[in-house]
Amino acid sequence: MTNLSERGKNRAISPSEIPAFGHADQMLWSSLQSVSDGFAFFGPDNKLIGANTAYLSSFDGIAEMRPGIHYFRMLELILEKNLIDIGDLTAPAWLRRMTDRWRSNQPEEVILHLTDGEYVRLIDRRGPDGETVSIGTNVTKSIRTELELRDARRRAEAANHAKSAFLANMSHEIRTPMNGVVGMAELLIDTDLTDDQRLYVKTIKNSGEALLEIINDVLDFSKIEAQKLTLHTKPFDLERCIIEVVMLLQPAALEKGLTVAVDYDMFLPTRYVGDPIRVRQILTNLIGNAVKFTEAGHVLIRVTGVPRSDAAATAVHVAIEDTGIGIANEKLGHIFGEFNQAEDNHSRPFEGTGLGLAITKRLVDMMDGSLWVESEPNVGSCFGFKLTLPKAKPSQTKPLRLPDRVAHALVVDDLEINCIILEKQIGLMGGRATICRSGADALAAMNSSVDLVLTDHHMPNMNGLELADALRSAGWKDVPIVLHSSNPAAVQNDPMKRHVQGILQKPIPRDELFAFLGGLEKNKDGLTQAVHENRPASPRKLTIPKLPDHRLQLLVAEDNRTNQLVFTKMVKDLPVDVHFACTGQEVLDLFPQIQPDIVFMDISMPGMDGKTATSFLRKKEVGAGHHTPVVAITAFAAQDALQDILASGIDDVLTKPLRKAELWDRIALHCAKAD
């Protein structure tokens, strides 16, 4: 059944041995003798009529192999002469399996492993009168290749598993001291420091948080590679998601003097169904890169969409344009790879793992979307992605309309893109905008038809507050002036703030812009009422929350001494006693002695982990009529991990590094629930 080139030659069955063999048959037989595949045919009685040399080569030297031998006897000879490797099967079992196969109407293909290491694929086909044609093909090369690939895959999977285990373990080991660094830095910020000391501590805290983000990137990529990262969809507001990401990155942009603008199509719904955590991660990576690689100018997030034919979903296009360093054309295909950066003399100073864009591409692919980039060195880049998202209800279906009293707005901004966005938004809301690129132009364009002035704060030569002062001095005392600023906190102590009736945080969500402009009213003096601000609240000074009269007993499962110290210092101003356990078993041992009001449970501990310990606690509580709040403390609370944590009976989750305000809030919340 194998090629004769490497085997001893068995005597071929000559045409004279085959009954009723004519001239044409002899020519066909000669052709079959020349092929490398084994060929044989059997009569309706399952006896061999003829076979070529390649077929008979496996039976070399066996005298019985001649015309008239029964197929079942051939199977017995294969076993008797030890020609076949039957693996884990017994000889009777193999014989029964091969006999049953032959008796079927259309025998299935089978691959035989010969004892000399060769592999042969047998294909048997029935003829119309019950005869059978049998073909044996040597597939040794392909089988060995397949086995090698299978072994290579097994070794690769083992290596990948070892890598994932290593990353998970190392990330925990790195996170633990870094959480201590960040936690201590947060505590230190609350103490009396000089300006220089406060700057140093903030730098330590920010650097620690940046390192934790890098660790999370590595873990995310590892999970994506292992196909263990899952999407969790729910309704969310896309515009709000974009604004929140911009607000997060605004401090870095302000340090460079960059303007970050959002141009969200007024006719496009804002509410969709998707995974908001992963959409936010995509936006953070792309917008963060735009801010990082742009030293001057602006970053623009432009959102458009095309409704799908069934109107139940929208193909949403998000483009992030910047005026940064750009990317050379030959490196555009390189930047989405793992650990890759478009390194050159321009980009070398910028830090990062090179994983952000690789993770972004994988996430977009998981959402069945597409990602693209266009760039020109020293001009800028545009990264874009498209996702088809189902609409969520309620959804904006028609544009908002401004009242007549604010129909004409004077828009003042030195950046053209901001003027274009505001002009379009006001126009789509039924208003009219006159555009001015400077304070001087605005003073010249001011007339009685203007219902309000919408001005940027930071402009060259004359800023927004100076323009407001000049307009009031010029006699325009009854026209509302609204200031939009990337940093409203910088306005608070400026005496000219009295001239404006509103301060809006840039970028301005369209619903907030409409609500503010639509709500402008004139009082008896012709001016709007008190100044309205939509700036984020300044960091609050913590006040002691309302707690029960007795001292609270907190049982904290935490095996790291630095983290124990951080926890102790964060709650030192509260009426609480803190008891620490280093393992899950210690939690179970201390629980009946302390009878804690709240248990704070670290998830990763030696021996019994936090989830297992909580499960045992809940079993003990069955029938007791009392439920003790358990709050998990974990370094990395991805959505799928959160669900697994909560399923163990844990009530709430706090992520490391701990924040003092969040910790106090959780203590107050769960004490109130217990009451």
> Does residue 39 surpass a pLDDT of 80?
yes
Q: What pLDDT does 446 receive?
A: 93
* Res. 608: pLDDT tops 60: yes
Which of the pair, 177 or 533, is modelled with greater confidence? 177
Residues linked to residue 455 through DSSP beta bridges, in sequence order: 412, 483
**Closest of 374, 257, 269 to residue 311, by C-alpha:** 269
C-alpha span between 17 and 153 (Å, rounded): 51
Average pLDDT of the segment spanning 535-555: 68
Would the pTM count as exceeding 0.75?
Answer: no
Q: How does residue 526 score in pLDDT terms, banded at 50, 70 and 90?
A: very low
CB atoms within 10 A of CB 442: 25
In the numeric block, which tokens belong to residue 169? 């373990």
Question: Taking Cα atoms as reference points, which of 610, 579, 612, 609 lies closest to residue 593?
Answer: 579
628-657 pLDDT tens trace: 999 998 876 555 566 678 878 888 888 888
Least confident of 68-72, 407-411, 450-454, 499-503: 499-503
Q: What is the dihedral of CA 556, 560, 566, 571, to 10 degrees?
A: 10
Backbone angles phi, psi at 47, to 5 degrees: -100, 145
How far apart CA 405 and CA 615 sit, in angstroms, is 63
Residue 27 has pLDDT above 70, yes or no: no
Q: Quick check: helix, strand or coil at residue 672?
A: helix
pLDDT tens digits for range 203-249? 787 777 767 776 777 777 777 766 667 788 889 889 988 988 888 78
pLDDT at 58: 80
pLDDT of residue 88 exceeding 70, the answer is yes
Q: Other C-beta atoms within 10 Å of 585: how many?
A: 16
Contacts of residue 262, defined as CB under 8 A and 6 or more positions apart, other chains included, come to: 239, 242, 243, 246, 300, 301, 303, 421, 507
Q: Smallest Cα–Cα separation from 482: which of 515, 449, 444, 524?
A: 515
What is the CA 424 to chain-centroid distance, rounded?
Answer: 33
The whole-number pLDDT of residue 502 equals 83
Q: What's residue 561's pLDDT?
A: 83
Q: Which helix (DSSP H) or strand (DSSP E) does residue 379 occupy?
A: none
What pLDDT was estimated at residue 75? 93
- pLDDT value, residue 346: 44
The model's pLDDT over 367-396, given as tens digits with 9 standing for 90+, comes to 999 999 998 888 899 999 999 999 887 655
Confidence of residue 347 (pLDDT cuts 50, 70, 90): very low
pLDDT-based confidence at 353, cuts 50/70/90? Answer: low
